[in-house]
Structure 1
Amino acid sequence: MTESSPAYGLWSLVAINSAVFIVFAASFFKPRSSRDWRTLGMFSAFIVALFAEMYGFPLTIYLLSGWLATRFPGVDFLAHDAGHLLEVMFGWRANPHFGPFHIVSNILIAGGFWLLASAWKVLYAAQAAGTLATTGPYAHLRHPQYAAFVVIMAGFLLQWPTVITLAMFPVLVVAYVRLARDEERTAAATFGSEWQQYAQQTPAFFPLRTRHHPDPIADGRGDHSSGERS
């Protein structure tokens, strides 16, 4: 982490990287409804905020500059590699792109995009047939696409944490949960008992739960929500 020249103010890279990941996500998610566009829009805002600090203006570095300089003397925090704060803070002073947090980050981002694409294929087939999506990723959780967006954002946070994206993350998670519940109400009205049985057997966002454990939203202790874009 001994780069001498600043690696910020590169707004063309902000625009290019933001566009690449937003278009990439859109091609996997394929938004159709206004709700879909809101979902993608929130993710896009997170991505733009992330790359604005990664290549544009390092707000987090400036806000924490005093503490960082005292705690990690000798590190040039205006060098790009030092922006991988978790690698710096936990002592990985070699190339941060091969550090443990960066590796886990890449796995989460790649896995999130894979889940996003896999879920869309199942959902598209179900919508074309007018049926409830219950196979593939939907056999393990009711909202794989929302879960995918959260996993991708978590991956980016591990790679390049910033004050703004850390503040945005819980807000976006809550927003996605609310959108999911809204969709589930629509699915419950459309598919009736079929949806209720599916919701009781399938967790909303976390596939580690036992498949046949009732869900509080579906069994009357919460909102009767819906499957994604069903």
Structure 2
Amino acid sequence: MHVGTWGLAIIVTVFVSWLMYRYLAPASWKEWTRAGVLQAFIIAFYAEMYGFPLTIYFLTRFFGLDLAWNEGGNLWAQLFGTPTAHIIAMLLGYSLVFLGATLVAEGWRRIHQARRRETLMTDGIYAIVRHPQYTGLFLIVFGEGVVHWPTIVSLIAFPVIVLAYTLLALKEERQMLEQFGDEYRAYRQHIPMFIPRLNKLQQQEF
């Protein structure tokens, strides 16, 4: 289905890269380094997904598995022997992608409101997690690169991306402490970094 469609790979890579730089624009050379890791993941992932499904290639060549190139080389369809596995993985994966994109967009909108007012943003999505944009990014990468269409590169890149942006979040928190002091320190004690607490989800109203 997807094998050899390099034109589609280029289009999707450009579009997803634009979204990344639109909502997660780097502000320093260190942030550009982390963005480079994510950019490399985007290029490699969609090249593998639409151009040459390397996951299936490695499985067949190195492990001696006799897998047919059906369903465009999707790993789940190959392993479970039915296209239904691909459909289920796609629905689950894109549900996570949609949720992640919503978090990124909402976090971006609220943080720009806070910057205009020069205040600390603690309501809305920021009353649930301290870094909703990075939580959203992790959900997008996990949903697309692990759940929907796992490849060799995406499985390796996911923990690298999580580590890179966790370090970036810690750096940003040090800057917030310098700017807001005890106000941010109290906020940090009550609001989790990436994973919301169940009681916070129950209390929050959008």
Quickly name the TM-score band, shorter chain normalised: 0.7 to 0.9
The residue type equivalent to 1:192 in the other structure is G
Q: How much does 1:198 deviate?
A: 0.2
Contact 1:113/1:148 (<8 A) preserved: yes
Find the partner of 2:76 among 86, 90, 93. Answer: 86
CA distance in 1, matches of 2:180, 2:124: 19
**Aligned-partner SS, 1:206:** coil
Count of aligned residue pairs for this structure pair:
197
Q: Which residue is equivalent to 2:108?
A: 120
Taking structure 1 as the reference length, the TM-score comes to: 0.77
Q: For residues 102-121 of structure 1, what are the structure 2 equivalents within 5 Å?
A: 102-121=90-109
Distance 2:37 2:12 in 1: 17
Pair 134,114 (structure 1): closer, same or farther in 2 beyond 3 Å: same
Give the equivalent residue in structure 1 for 2:167: 178
Greater gyration radius: 1
Among candidates 33, 50, 53, match of residue 55 of structure 1: 50
CA contact (8 A) 1:25 1:113 kept: no
Structure 1 stretches of 4+ moved >6 Å: none
Identity %: 35
Q: TM-score, length-normalised on structure 2?
A: 0.86
Runs (5+) with no aligned partner, structure 1: 212-230
- 3-state SS of paired residue (1:134): coil
Alignment of 1:1-230 (within 5 A): 7-27=2-22, 29=23, 31=25, 33-34=27-28, 37-66=32-61, 67=63, 69-70=65-66, 76-77=68-69, 79=70, 81-94=71-84, 96=86, 99-156=87-144, 157-208=146-197
Q: Closer, same or farther in 2 for the Cα pair 1:92/1:133, shift >3 Å?
A: farther
Partner-residue secondary structure (3-state), 1:64? helix
Structure 2 CA distance for aligned equivalents of residues 30 and 15 of structure 1: 21
Q: Distance in 1 between matches of 2:92 and 2:64?
A: 24
Which structure is higher in helix share? Answer: 2
Measured after TM superposition, the shift of residue 30 of structure 1 is 5.3
Query: Which residues of structure 2 form unaligned runs of 5+?
Result: 201-206
Distance in 2 separating the partners of 1:210 and 1:39? 32
